[in-house]
Amino acid sequence: MRTFSLSVTDPRLCLSRSQAGENADELLAQKKQLEDSKVSTEEELKVVEAELLVKQISIGNIVHDSVKVSNDEVRRALA
């Protein structure tokens, strides 16, 4: 059995409505609004990801408590 789904903004649904004599303008307007919203959300995502990357770079290495601390690699105590 084949199944498929149609979203409210699916062009096939708009076409079937127009063939049935119904007005699909509302659905097309909703589709346009959703596409515009998607574009602005993707732009906002790029900005947030850039801010996140800057914050991630600023975080130093966090070492386990069992790691010996030293100011110099030569004098660092080995376990």
Give the pLDDT score at 13.
Answer: 59
Give the pLDDT score at 7.
Answer: 63
Task: Provide mean pLDDT across the span 12-20.
Answer: 60
56/61 Cα distance (integer angstroms):
11
Q: What angle do CA 22, 23, 26 make, to 5 degrees?
A: 135
Give the pLDDT score at 1.
Answer: 47
Domain ranges of the chain: 11-58
Give the pLDDT score at 14.
Answer: 57
pLDDT single digits (tens) 18-76: 566 677 888 899 999 999 999 999 999 999 999 999 999 988 878 888 877 777 766 66
